[in-house]
Amino acid sequence: MIVVVCLNPALDVTHQLDAVGWGEVNRPRAVHARPGGKGLNVARTLHALGADVLVLGLAGGITGAGVEAALRELGVPTAFTPVTGETRRTFSIVDDSRVTAFHEAGPEVGAAEFAEFCTDYQKAAAEAQAVVLSGSLPPGLPAGTYATLIQTAGIPVVLDTHGEALRRGAAAGPAVVKPNLAELAALAGRPLTARRGAELAAVAAGELGRAGAVVVTLGPQGLLAATGDGRWRVRMPAAVAGNATGAGDAVTAALAHGIVAGRPWHERLRHAVALGAATAAAPVAGEFRPQDYLDALRAVMVEEVR
């Protein structure tokens, strides 16, 4: 079983309109709503891969109940720890010319609530083969939260977050950290480019070297990995455009899946880039066409970086 931790899940609501009357009552022409947040994308991808997955995290209020119901409907098992605050929504208003988004912050999490989550987490980890920690922390939880969860897991952890939570999480020794290029550049405090593989690998090792491996996603240019078994640059033959958020979450899912399947590193990375490419091509994060995945697997290019 793979435990996916989503401490700040969301319900993503999109309203499409031809034009918006500000200060008026508008009636959207189309409405979409789905469970959001990076962890939930990872969980949906793992479920689609046939992995035994369990989503843990914090959920509360009307939206928390709604997110749980929607995941149940998608067949993704959940065991959220209840909180008194309200799980966040994101509202995106899409008109002819632009997208205006309203992002709620998520519930303020109390110490007792987080302690209860930790109990649930340790019970689940005791029966799991790997853990994924993904996304930002909700208000009220300290930047060292992921580090604590990594230290108490007792099994391999894949960490996908940013900023201080990433820096402190990496120092706690997870199996894999998966920043994207912008997140690594923010940690390094200087701009980075996807082209210089050896330099990038050195920066990754320097900033996040206490992690077992660092996988830097490069958007359409694939990824770069610095692992104990070697360094690789992995990409599709042609740049893949599409949903970058969804693609990054698919890479995280594939890395956890590769650990549990016992694949060697270069095979994990091949699957990760193929799944990312197939997911980028799908309209909705967390979804992919199996045929796209299989086609991409045959096309992926894996090269060692020295």
Q: Quote the least distance from Cβ 63 to its own copies, whole Å.
A: 7
Which residues make up the interface to its own copies (CB under 8 A)?
A: 11, 13, 15, 17, 20-28, 31, 33, 61-63, 65-67, 69-70, 86, 89, 91, 93, 97-105
Q: Say which of 229, 249, 292, 295 is annotated catalytic.
A: 249
Q: Quote the least distance from Cβ 224 to its own copies, whole Å.
A: 28
How far apart, in whole angstroms, are the C-alpha atoms of residue 152 and residue 125?
Answer: 9
Cα diameter, the chain: 60
Q: Tell me whether residue 21 or residue 191 sits nearer to its own copies (CB atom).
A: 21
Contact residues for 45 (Cβ-Cβ < 8 A; gap 6+): 249, 250, 253, 254, 275, 279, 286, 288
Known catalytic membership, residue 52: no
Residues 209, 212, 218, 221, CA torsion sign: positive
Q: Quote the least distance from Cβ 101 to its own copies, whole Å.
A: 5
Strand pairing of 30-36 and 157-160? Answer: unpaired
Nearest of 210, 175, 205, 174 to residue 188 by alpha carbon: 205
Q: Quote the least distance from Cβ 85 to its own copies, whole Å.
A: 10
Q: Tell me whether residue 93 or residue 261 sits nearer to its own copies (CB atom).
A: 93
Contact residues for 11 (Cβ-Cβ < 8 A; gap 6+): 33, 34, 35, 36, 63, 66, 67, 70, 87, 88, 89, 90
Q: Tell me whether residue 99 or residue 198 sits nearer to its own copies (CB atom).
A: 99
Q: Tell me whether residue 20 or residue 118 sits nearer to its own copies (CB atom).
A: 20
Instruction: Check: CB of residue 222 under 8 Å from CB of residue 195.
Output: no
Q: Tell me whether residue 26 or residue 221 sits nearer to its own copies (CB atom).
A: 26
Q: Quote the least distance from Cβ 59 to its own copies, whole Å.
A: 11
Q: Compute φ and ψ for 140, nearest 5 degrees.
A: 100, -15
Task: Supply the residues annotated as catalytic.
Answer: 249
